[in-house]
């Protein structure tokens, strides 16, 4: 089974289902990414902060797949914000990954108190022009941060990776992204702590389709036009999280799932990601 690709605003595409890798260490992530690639995953998401880029790179190398068949994402966090700091940051990430380029490079957080995300984004533009990051984007940015990038820089982010699930639909973010041609990437797409997986509405829809609650939730993400990066170290769940293209949800089911939104979501939610 394969995944659909979502077009990006720079002319490239991104696989709609990816593999999240936080908080796996190098040894764990090498095993999980190897299994995921064997199952058909082609999109792997890591970050400097996760401390597992070397393990991701080892799995990519061992896969034997042509480089252009894999979509590798990494993120640079606070120490690499500010003029030119991302140059060294990405070089170090590429060395750990054993790659010449990443498919997508993200600013991990805007960190507005530092007031460096605009200069960091200008450095990202240079990295993209140099071919070290084929696409560039952001993570955990709010519409106000994106507005400032639009006013002061020349490249619109390809994606904004945000915490998003049926309990936290972030309609204002999603509407902004759609208006400006930015793809929404959902991290923690299945919610946190397992509560969403036990939600009666989800259980009812899952039973109707003969699917797991996780598959129903992920199908909701896909039908909503999001890119989702669920994470699991269990082979069976990895398989189930990828088997999403041979069933569909009705419009009524989509609306019922969206109606589970509880609102909220603060910067404190983001510290672990």
Query: Do 244 and 17 touch, CB atoms closer than 8 A?
Result: yes
Query: CB neighbours (10 Å) of residue 264?
Result: 9
- pLDDT tens sequence for the chain (273 residues): 567 999 999 999 999 999 999 999 999 999 999 999 999 999 999 999 999 999 999 999 999 999 999 999 999 999 999 989 999 999 999 999 999 999 999 999 999 999 999 999 999 999 999 999 999 999 999 999 999 999 999 999 999 999 999 999 999 999 999 999 999 999 999 999 999 999 999 999 999 999 999 999 999 999 999 999 999 999 999 999 999 999 999 999 999 999 999 987 544 344 446
Question: Who's near 44: CB < 8 A, 6+ residues apart?
Answer: 18, 19, 21, 33, 36, 56, 59, 60, 70, 71, 72, 73
Residue-range domain boundaries for the chain: 5-186
C-alpha torsion angle, residues 200, 201, 205, 207 (rounded to 10): 10
Q: What's the rounded Cα separation, in Å, for the pair 29 and 35?
A: 10
- Per DSSP, the chain holds a count of helices (H) and strands (E) of 10, 10
Q: What's the rounded Cα separation, in Å, for the pair 117 and 107?
A: 8
Which fold, 5-186? TIM Barrel (3.20.20)
- Say if pTM beats, i.e. exceeds, 0.85: yes
CA angle at 132 for the pair 94 and 149, rounded to the nearest 5°: 115
Question: Which residue, among 5, 60, 68, has the nearest Cα to 36 in the 3D structure?
Answer: 60
Q: What's the rounded Cα separation, in Å, for the pair 269 and 215?
A: 24
Active site residues: 50
């Amino acid at each position: 089974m394969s995944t659909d690709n979502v077009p990006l605003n720079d002319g490239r595409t991104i696989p709609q289902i990816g593999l999240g890798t936080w908080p796996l260490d190098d040894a764990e992530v090498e095993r999980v990414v190897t299994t995921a690639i064997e199952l058909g995953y082609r999109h792997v998401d890591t970050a400097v902060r996760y401390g597992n880029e070397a393990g991701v790179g080892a799995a990519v190398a061992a896969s034997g797949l042509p480089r252009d068949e894999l979509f590798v994402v990494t993120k640079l966090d606070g120490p690499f914000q500010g003029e030119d700091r991302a140059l060294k940051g990405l070089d170090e990430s590429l060395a750990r990954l054993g790659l010449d380029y990443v498919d997508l490079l993200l600013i991990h957080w805007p960190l507005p108190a530092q007031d460096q995300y605009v200069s960091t984004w200008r450095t990202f533009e240079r990295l993209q022009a140099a071919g070290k990051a084929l696409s560039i984007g952001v993570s955990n940015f709010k519409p106000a941060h994106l507005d400032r990038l639009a006013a002061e820089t020349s490249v619109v982010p390809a994606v904004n990776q945000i915490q998003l699930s049926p309990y936290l639909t972030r309609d204002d973010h999603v509407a902004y992204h759609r208006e400006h041609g930015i793809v929404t990437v959902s991290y923690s797409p299945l919610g946190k702590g397992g509560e969403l997986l036990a939600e009666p509405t989800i259980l009812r829809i899952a039973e109707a389709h003969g699917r797991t609650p996780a598959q129903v939730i992920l199908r909701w993400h896909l039908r909503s036009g999001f890119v989702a990066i669920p994470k699991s170290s269990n082979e069976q769940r990895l398989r189930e999280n990828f088997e999403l293209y041979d069933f569909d949800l009705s419009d009524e089911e989509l609306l019922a799932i969206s109606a589970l939104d509880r609102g909220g979501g603060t910067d404190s939610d983001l510290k672990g990601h």
